[in-house]
Structure 1
Amino acid sequence: MMKTRISILALALAAMLGQSCVSKKEYQSLQTKYNRLDSNTRDLRNKYLLTERSLAVANNKVSNLEDRIASEKANVKSLQEALDKCLNSTSQGNVNISKLVDEINSSNKYIQQLVNAKNKSDSLNMVLTNNLTRSLSQQEMRDVNVQVLKGVVYISLSDNMLYKSGSYEISDRAGETLSKISKIIKDYKTYDVLIEGNTDNVPISQKNIRNNWDLSALRASSVVQALQNNYGVEPRRLTAGGRGEYNPIADNSTEEGRAKNRRTQIIITPKLDQFMDLIGKAPEQGQDETK
């Protein structure tokens, strides 16, 4: 939107100068506004890139944090069992009880630190999700679901919006939405992109389409080719796949459930070497994760 305002201002400057109706003072004022907007645009872009990098690191921390939480909870359970045994022991056991209580309290404190760090990362996920969806209209938001989980962006598109009825051809009204999604993909220019088609369990009865496997794969291929041919996404980053009716997210016995299952997912994920780099930056156990 900001780029649009800058472009409009630039056009206005050109038009007014062309008509020789602008005073030098007015021209300087408009030029100052244009420079200010251009600077703001660059600042916002830099902030967005910084947020994206911070989130990628935070998401990989979450994976380690969840494992540590589970380990610490198991440790607490073991310590508690040992404490229960000590309650029935001799006076020497009283010394062990005090030590075990200290260890339990220390473990509980560390668990709370890990939980706080995980909540912080979840908040960053929510911020980035909101940034990715802010360009979508209210109508588009009913047909598009965007989530960020552990450094991976999941974009789910309903078949009603994306395809012509009972077909794998992209509908006319899907163009604007795919254009916005292609910008998200280009922002993640070092990530791979998987386009995954899904159907409900109702058998397809169309010539040249054998079953739901065919339909889901053809739909994914249509989206891949649209992103490549119409919106300039690098084809080497793209993979098309079909999962047929075998990856449902809702009950196929209802119309509402079947509608949810008829979807195409765009999954934007780091390459394996990027995952390993991020894992290498994970914090050491015992550090205060909330800092």
Structure 2
Amino acid sequence: MKRLSLYMGLAMIAATLLLPGCVGTRKYRTLQENYDAVLLKEREVSARYQDVQRQLSSANTQIKSFEDQLASERANVKALQDALDKCLSSTNQGNVNISKLVDEINASNRYIQHLVNAKNKSDSLNMVLTNNLTRSLSREEMQDVDVQVLKGVVYISLSDNMLYKSGSYEISEQAGETLSKIAKIIMDYSDYEVLVEGNTDNVPISQTNIRNNWDLSALRGSSVVQALQNEYGVDPKRLTAAGRGEYNTVASNDTESGRTRNRRTQIIITPKLDQFMELIDKAPENEATTATDSVPAGMTEVLPIEQP
């Protein structure tokens, strides 16, 4: 519905632009600027949609991997069960082999349950981290802030349009409120390590005091680190500033929208092992399945086999 409204707005502006003789030059120029702004907004929404699609594809790939492992273990259990049935139908001379098969089947059952628990715990951990990190950000701020949790590591990506003055590494005034919220999140997790990493597109920089995009990206990472330390009180011992220049792309540099996505600063928050365990304990119980819980829908529950 939002996309339809956007296209209708574009159509109305385009229709007005086709009648330049009916309006004054200033009003015509204003309409042209509005039209250009709407076009830019449409491209940003489209880029955001494509990014969400990629994230969804990545999540589906991970789920497919879990499902493949589960299917493989189920096939292994069935093969072992078939072998056990044949042994049970033979003479008592195979008692030793039967005992080994029982142990292998029970071990496979435990491994299947472990995979199920690991997947549910991973999903719950990611949900806890994402909710904690985004709880104080407004909808407008989320347009320039991308939060992802991958294997317990938090990636906060901030667009350079929001953070810096144009073509500079100086923090803009409008970035202050967003950085203050991110700083509060970092302070909440006081034992986590924080890496601030600058990234650029491949357009050469043309400033006398900045040699190349390596310099620019490192200076931008350093600017955010110093802002977190000096303005928001984050312990500098936890902070690391880095720059990756134009070599850590998330989109093609052949288009303006791609270059815009590549110009970003990532704040990477890495928990230590004890923080991982604490977060796992915080995971909602209804999101995590334990060994005594029911097996998820679509999976047949396999009970341990007692030896004869």
Pairwise same-fold verdict (TM > 0.5): yes
Gap change, CA 1:163 and 1:106, over 3 Å in 2: same
Equivalent of residue 291 in structure 2, options 285, 288, 291? 288
Cα distance between partner residues in 2 of 1:235 and 1:221: 11
Q: Deviations over 1:182-211 (max 9, x none)?
A: 001101101111100111122212221111
Counterpart Cα distance in 1 of 2:163 and 2:120: 34
CA distance in 1, matches of 2:293, 2:147: 27
CA RMSD of aligned residues (A): 4.1
Deviation at 1:69, TM superposition (A): 8.8
Per the alignment, residue 52 of structure 2 pairs with none
Which residue pairs with 1:150 in the alignment?
151
Between Structure 1 and Structure 2, how many residues are aligned? 214
Distance 1:72 1:122, change over 3 A: closer
CA distance in 1, matches of 2:224, 2:261: 18
Give the distance between the partners of 2:66 and 2:253, measured in 1 at CA: 38
Query: Quick one: distance in 2 between partners of 1:139 and 1:250?
Result: 22
Equivalent residue for 1:223? 224
Matching residue of 1:171: 172
Using a 3 Å threshold, how does the CA distance of structure 1 residues 119 and 71 change in structure 2: closer, same or farther? closer
Distance in 2 separating the partners of 1:117 and 1:241 = 33
Alignment of 1:1-291 (within 5 A): 107=108, 110-111=111-112, 113-271=114-272, 274=274, 288=291
Q: Deviations over 1:152-194 (max 9, x none)?
A: 2221111110001111110010000000010011011011111
Deviation at 1:249, TM superposition (A): 1.2
Taking the aligned partners of 2:276 and 2:114, their CA distance within structure 1 comes to 24
Once the 2 structures are TM-superposed, how far is the Cα of residue 221 of structure 1 from its aligned partner?
0.4
The CA deviation at 1:123 is 2.8
Q: Provide, for residues 214-258 of structure 1, a one-character-per-residue CA deviation record: whole Å limited to 9, x for no partner.
A: 110000000011111111111111110001111111122222221
Q: Give the TM-score normalised by structure 1.
A: 0.60
Three-state SS of the structure 1 residue aligned to 2:194 is strand
Identity %: 71
Structure-2-length-normalised TM-score: 0.57
**CA-CA distance at 1:75 after TM superposition:** 6.3
2:230 and 2:150 mapped to 1: Cα distance?
A: 29
CA distance in 2, matches of 1:228, 1:136: 20
Give SS of 1:231's match: coil
5+ unaligned residues in a row in structure 2: which ranges?
Answer: 1-64, 84-88, 282-289, 295-308
Kept after mapping to 2: 8 A contact 1:117/1:290: no
Q: Displaced runs of 4+ in structure 1, greater than 4 A? A: 67-85, 99-106, 273-278
Q: Determine the C-alpha separation between the residues in 2 that align with 1:231 and 1:239.
A: 16
What amino acid does structure 2 have at the position aligned with 1:168?
Y
